[in-house]
């Protein structure tokens, strides 16, 4: 016996058919079928009611918005200066939009670090982060790396290459030193930004892409646009959200924090004791001009730890000699350029720097330092006390 009944919900809409199969066709089997049908229908109606309630709850509950990153988030950037706080504010503003970003700043200021922060703290963080330095490879190879090529596109192209733009699908492509990109490739990159598609070398098809472009340069792109070395239309496309990184000399307040951070990081990887940076060492580091910016400071700290990482406290005399000499040259330049102050003040400043330079040269040996300066031991001690200089700070 086959029994088929329509199943309706509370609104009397058909939801399906209930089919019951039985082997006998008598009164008892019919009663059993009727009770079973009623039970199944009751269960089905309850299920429909629960589904309706669940749909109502889903409709009334708003979809949670992405959690905003706190404004005090560090984004992996060390420092508390006003310049670095302003940089963090700019990063927070660019996280949840799709505008292209142009990061400018001197060499060694951390442009790639900022690009990584934008990617890893934004909604694209689950997708690839691809990097290409536009100054490091020839034009033909750069074109292949960025846009890809199909098999047979040129001699040696024995397989298809997707290219970095397509490989970064859904994520971020960081183009470092964009100012060195040849004009011919600038036109192709502009087409990618305008049409959101890329056509590999040797291919007749274009492929849709969803990639955020973050570019960086240490060059002055507006000047390059004026001289015809960079496309104006591409510049405006890339500079939808410009971020200018400050040089380290404009954030002196961060040097102590950065120095300790680099020292702790290097000591951990090199399995060295926790380093102690003396106040005299930090003062010397803060007086340097840093033409190489944060990268130069990091190199200086690592070299110091490589040579003297087991010392109880690192002193100015532990700094690499050529770097210290450059710092002294920078200070000498500052003295020469100083236009204010009385003569006695200038002479005292210069005398202090000369004493420090000679003590560094002889690793804190007062006798040799006094001999070079033509001073007696008493005169040397007098001048060291006068300027509050401790010769032990330069001993190795």
Is domain 82-246 given the CATH code 3.90.850.10 in the classification?
no
The CATH number of domain 250-316, selected from 1.10.8.60, 3.40.50.2300, 3.40.47.10, 3.40.50.150:
1.10.8.60
In this prediction, residue 204 carries a pLDDT of 81
Q: In this predicted structure, what is the pLDDT of residue 310?
A: 86
Q: Taking Cα atoms as reference points, which of 9, 8, 7 lies closest to residue 17?
A: 7
What is the tens place of the pLDDT at every residue in 168-202?
999 999 999 999 999 999 999 999 999 999 988 88
For residues 265 and 285, what is the distance between their CA atoms, to the nearest angstrom?
18
What confidence tens digit (pLDDT) does each residue in 320-343 have? 876 656 655 555 555 454 445 677
CB 390 within 8 A of CB 361: no
Same fold, 250-316 and 338-396: no
In this prediction, residue 358 carries a pLDDT of 83
Average pLDDT over residues 87-97: 92
Instruction: Name the architecture of domain 338-396.
Output: Orthogonal Bundle (1.10)
Write down the pTM of the prediction: 0.67
Q: C-alpha 229: how far from its chain's center?
A: 28
* Residue owning tokens 């001690």: 381
Q: What's phi and psi for 258, nearest 5 deg?
A: -65, -40
Taking the domains of the chain in order of start, what are their residue ranges? 2-60, 82-246, 250-316, 338-396
pLDDT in tens, 341-366: 677 777 888 888 888 888 877 778 88
What sections of the chain are H helices per DSSP? 27-60, 82-94, 111-120, 139-147, 164-167, 183-195, 221-226, 232-238, 255-270, 279-286, 293-308, 321-337, 343-361, 366-373, 377-386
What's the confidence (pLDDT) of residue 256? 94
Whole-number CA gyration radius for the chain? 35
């Amino acid at each position: 016996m086959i029994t088929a009944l329509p199943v309706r919900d509370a609104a009397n809409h058909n939801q399906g058919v209930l089919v019951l199969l039985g082997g006998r066709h008598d009164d008892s089997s019919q009663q059993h079928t009727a009770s079973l049908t009623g039970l199944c229908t009751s269960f089905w109606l309850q299920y429909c009611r629960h589904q309706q309630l669940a749909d109502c709850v889903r409709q009334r509950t708003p979809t949670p918005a992405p959690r905003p990153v706190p404004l005090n988030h560090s984004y992996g950037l060390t420092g508390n200066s006003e310049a670095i706080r302003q940089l963090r504010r700019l990063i927070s503003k660019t996280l949840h939009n799709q505008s292209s970003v142009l990061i400018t700043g001197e060499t060694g200021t951390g442009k790639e670090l900022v690009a990584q922060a934008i990617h890893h703290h934004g909604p694209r963080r689950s997708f690839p982060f691809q990097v290409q330095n536009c100054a490091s490879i020839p034009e033909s190879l750069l074109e292949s790396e960025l846009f890809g090529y199909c098999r047979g596109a040129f001699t040696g192209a024995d397989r298809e290459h997707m290219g970095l733009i397509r490989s970064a699908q859904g994520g971020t492509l960081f183009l470092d030193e964009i100012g060195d990109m040849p004009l011919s490739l600038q036109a192709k990159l502009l087409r990618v930004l305008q049409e959101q598609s890329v056509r590999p070398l040797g291919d007749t098809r274009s492929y849709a892409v969803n990639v955020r472009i973050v570019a960086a340069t240490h060059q002055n792109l507006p000047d390059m646009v004026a001289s015809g070395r960079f496309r104006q239309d591409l510049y405006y496309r890339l500079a939808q959200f410009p971020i200018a990184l400050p040089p380290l000399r404009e954030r002196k307040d961060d040097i102590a924090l950065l120095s300790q951070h680099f020292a702790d990081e290097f000591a951990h990887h090199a399995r060295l004791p926790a380093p102690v940076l003396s106040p005299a060492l930090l003062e010397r580091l803060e007086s340097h001009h840093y033409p190489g910016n944060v990268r130069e400071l990091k190199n200086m700290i690592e070299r110091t730890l490589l040579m003297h990482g087991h010392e109880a406290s690192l002193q100015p005399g532990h700094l690499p000699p050529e770097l210290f000499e450059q710092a002294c040259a920078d200070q000498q330049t500052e003295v020469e350029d100083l236009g204010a102050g009385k003569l006695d003040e200038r002479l005292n400043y210069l005398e202090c720097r000369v004493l420090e330079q000679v003590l560094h040269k002889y690793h804190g040996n007062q006798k040799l330092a006094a001999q070079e300066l033509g001073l007696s031991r008493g005169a040397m001690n007098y001048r060291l006390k006068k300027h509050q200089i401790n010769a032990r700070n330069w001993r190795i």
